[in-house]
Amino acid sequence: MPVPYETHRRQIETILAAWGMPAENASKTAEVMAWADLHGIDSHGISMLTVYNERVREGRIRMDAKPSVGRESPVSAAVDGDGGLGHVPSRLAMGTAIAKARTSGVGIVTVRNSAHFGACGFYANMAAEAGLVGFVATSASGIQVAPTGGAEAKLGTDPLAFAAPGRDGEPFLLDMATTTVAAGKIRNKANEGLPCPPGWVVTKDGLPSTDPLEAREKGGFLTPLGGTPEGSSHKGYGLAAMVNILGSCMSGATLITDPMHTKEPTGMDIGHFFMAIDPGLFRDTADFRDDVATFCDALRATRPTDPDQPVMVAGDPERRKAAQRGREGIPVARNLAGKLKAIAQESGAAWLLDDTAAA
């Protein structure tokens, strides 16, 4: 059964609080996660509680973490996530970047000593809502991707996001993994016992596979964006390397290629990168936004190959999904709901979702 947005958000918040996260941080984290589900990014929302639950059990995430700003200049800052989940330090980081951009024209903030931070697009959208251009990148915890031509995993999904304000409520908002598909989409297939579409994963010998457990349990790999060398997988590989340079090398977080990556006694030490740019550095901001809107409208006006499938720009599909789910509720798959109910019961959190979903 679809779940109303507010109930969905509160379910996430109650579980986080039951794990020991302070109320304000639980609310801020739940908002990021529920935003992802509302916009159809199901790989980064409530389903992540199954992953976080494992980390909490292992003592790998500090639920009482207190992020702080360290080294700082008029245009930059370095945030320490204090070993907790990445949502709160990332909101602090982009908020700091936005404040600096409003004063100095640009703001760049890194985060280290963090963990998974949800959907990149949430933070890039923060900049767009402030009338700024936003760019976000993050390293990853899971090492599941082989460099083009390699037979050994060295990289993660290593996502990035870019946002630019145009017409009110319709920013250009690109949020993408540097793999063919986000790892969470594969996890969701595994949760429901469903196969992956061809091209998402390959075996340890580089052969095609549709097994959602291939990369996680059987020594196989997720494919870089492009899929194969013939399909230009070097582009996804190159973007992943760029993301790690920004997210880890710039922040000082543990390199994903370091044998100790995510293996310290406590904390995951994931690195994030945030940038906000004021277009007013270069021209009148209203004119910039008008041009972004005009450009996006021209792309939407492209004659489609299928008349029933109009051309969209980055951000359009997610906004449509958010409008639909805002009316109809957010679906939670049956098997996932069962896992979430068990997590709620184990943690002592109230179960707020419809029991029929977890039956």
Q: Which amino acid is at 311?
A: V
pTM: 0.93
Residue 271 token pair: 């690195």
Helices 87-104, 23-38: crossing angle, 10 deg rounding? 80
302-324 pLDDT, tens digit each: 999 999 999 999 999 999 999 99
Whether 240 contacts 221, CB under 8 Å = no
Nearest to 173 by CA among 117, 98, 121: 121
39-58 pLDDT, tens digit each: 999 989 999 999 999 999 99
In order of 20, 203, 350, 351, the CA distances from 15 in angstroms are 9, 36, 8, 9
Sign of CA dihedral 100, 70, 78, 72: positive
Q: What is the pLDDT of residue 215?
A: 82
> Which contiguous run of DSSP H or E holds residue 137?
strand 133-138
Domains of the chain: residue spans and CATH: 1-58+329-359 (1.10.1530.10), 67-180+223-321 (3.30.1370.60)
The mean pLDDT value for 259-276 works out to: 90
